[in-house]
Amino acid sequence: MPGYMNRIAYVDLSNKQVRYEEPGDTFYRRYLGGWNLIALTLLRETPAHLDPLNPANPLVVATGVASGIPVSGLARNAVGAKSPLTGGFGASEVGGFFQTELKRAGFDAIIVHGQAESPLYLWIHDGQVTLRDAAHLWGQKTADALAQIRTELGVPRARAMLIGPGAENLVPYACISNDLKHFAGRCGLGAVMGAKKLKAIVAYGSQPVPVADPEKIKALGQWMRKNLHLAGNFPLWGTGAVQELFEQQGNLPVRNFSAGEYPQVKRQLPQTIREELGSTMEACYACAVHCKKRVAAEKPYPIDPQYGGPEYETLAAIGSNCCIADTALLCKANELLNAYTIDTISFGVSLAFAMECFEAGLLTLKDTDGLELRFGNGAVLLPAIEKVARREGFGAFLARGVKAMAKELGGGSERFAMHVKGQPYPMHEPRLKRGLALGYAVSPTGADHQHSLHDTGTTTEAGIEALRPLGILEPVPLDDFGADKVRLAMRSSTASVARNCTVLCQFVPWSYPQIIEMIQAATGWTDYSLYEWMESGERALNLARLFNLREGFSAADDWLPQRSFEPPINGALKNQAVQADQLREAIRLYYGMMGWDPETGIPMEGKLRELGLDQYVALAQSLQQKPEQPS
């Protein structure tokens, strides 16, 4: 069918069986793909309260109805499972080339159940999925494994999602790599692959993705190439070029989110990386933006360019958040984390937590295997990565993530643990952005910057221009935390989740009307509307919410760590913090706007029936009977 292949493969690793389903046009129009397919699968096929590393936890690799079409921003897929890090809904999006080959090979999604007796990889080629031995690849870094797979298959252009030793050793915040340099980073989904003994999913196809209106698709592609200025500095520097501005605003995390001043910020700028080490820019499939860094160096550290280069989140997480101001060291650490498939954000926040505990006397040299975990001590960075990847010694503790680390350590360390629902904070400051504070609190994946509002950009007429199709007609002040900000955050977040169902890149500046045009041209749904698209985002949020509630989460989990309610010790926000009463009221309003019970956050019957989710009304009603307790 135009835009999508109408085929999903279900793979059972335990008995080495594969079956195929064709969901049909109505299914794809209602759900699009991505987040919705993940949430549906988890609710339907995952027993309640299952250990995330249990073989019964399905791993869902899902594209969207326009993925793989040669237009900027469409080279993405979503990955999901019950999260080993949070115990709740886990989803992450990733770019590259793999998703295009998956579609060209004839599939919209792969859903993997069970656990292999010994390591395997999946080979997906022209309508068929086969299982191949990967015992000889287990323990290898991703570049070595991918090279060997391509040689074995005799297909040098094969693309792969794969894991390294960190995921094989079940680090709860392990990630998954697309083609070595693109990452499904959050929620610990690499550990799910590791638990299944699934080294890689490899795809190569010979057929282009069909589209209903090739001329319209071509025109959209040409429009973006002619209007690259709308992407700002992304084609030149990728992410992170504005870190000096972030530091001035108070938006740059420093010293485990306790401070705001970082005079060494220049050491982690992409401009400095290019000047001192050399870097080039690359793109995902068919994308004109070219926002991906590639860093190669011989001195002072050998840095393998196959693993790309550090994004903003990485540079801030292991840089300013740990006060490590060494450009080359940060790039080398990024390479190792990528090769081992360890989420750079979660590692950086976990290391910063351990540093603060060490300086507070809660950890000693005996606990840390002799690593002097002081802020600014770059000498501990690479050894800590190696220990985490192998879960050896102190690395076994550091690999657990901040929520579990604080619970184990005790002694008041909880006040240093920067997470929501177990998901470590990304590198954006909710004390600056009220909409972001709300987004972090209510997100089904925990603290997540990708589908939360960054309201520094919506305070002017120019800033809200792109949001007018969503009914946001006036700017909202940055310090506003009333109904106007909640409405803005709710609609913006719903649209971002709809993108995650379409699986569309947020760095490519398509307008909402253009997104609808793209879906229409790809699928032939000429009457498809922005209203339908936003409903797909609502479905995904409601399904993810129900999954989390079923797993034991409640409204009490929709909250921020204590540090966010206290000002940093210095910097632009030294007199500013999130106000607990304002956040509590914003959450209540958000629930109401979403059609959820204003007190419990449980989706109401009317909302579920409006979205065509009638089969989950009974689940929602049963949840209303349970007492509210933090997970």
**CB 424, CB 352: distance < 8 Å:** no
- Side-chain half-sphere CA neighbours of 437 within 13 A: 31
CB-count exposure of residue 215 (10 Å: 0-12, 13-18, 19+):
exposed
Q: What is the pairing mode between strands 109-113 and 8-12? A: parallel
Please report where in the chains the tokens 């503790």 appear, as a residue. Answer: 397
- In this predicted model, what pLDDT tens digit does every residue of 515-538 receive, in sequence order? 999 999 999 999 999 999 999 999
Tokens representing residue 216 in the block: 């319209």
| pLDDT confidence of residue 105 | 98
| pLDDT confidence of residue 1 | 86
Residue 319 belongs to what H/E stretch? Answer: none
Average pLDDT score, the chain:
97
SS3 state at 176: strand
Count Cβ neighbours within 10 Å for each residue of 230-253 and write b for 16 or more, e otherwise: ebeebbebbbbbbbeebbebbbbb
**CB 177, CB 163: distance < 8 Å:** yes
pTM, two decimal places: 0.97
- In this predicted model, what pLDDT tens digit does every residue of 351-393 receive, in sequence order? 999 999 999 999 999 999 999 999 999 999 999 999 999 999 9
Instruction: Answer whether residue 625 shows pLDDT above 90.
Output: no
Q: Which domains does the chain have, with CATH numbers?
A: 8-204 (3.60.9.10), 227-424 (1.10.569.10), 434-623 (1.10.599.10)
Question: How many Å apart are CA 601 and CA 623, to the nearest integer?
Answer: 10
- In this predicted model, what pLDDT tens digit does every residue of 539-558 receive, in sequence order? 999 999 999 999 999 999 99
- In this predicted model, what pLDDT tens digit does every residue of 221-257 receive, in sequence order? 999 999 999 999 999 999 999 999 999 999 999 999 9
Q: What is the pairing mode between strands 198-204 and 120-125? A: parallel
Question: How many Å apart are CA 112 and CA 106, to the nearest integer?
Answer: 17
Q: Report which residue type is found at 399.
A: A
Question: How many Å apart are CA 336 and CA 331, to the nearest integer?
Answer: 9
Name the E strands within 361-456. Answer: 419-420, 423-424
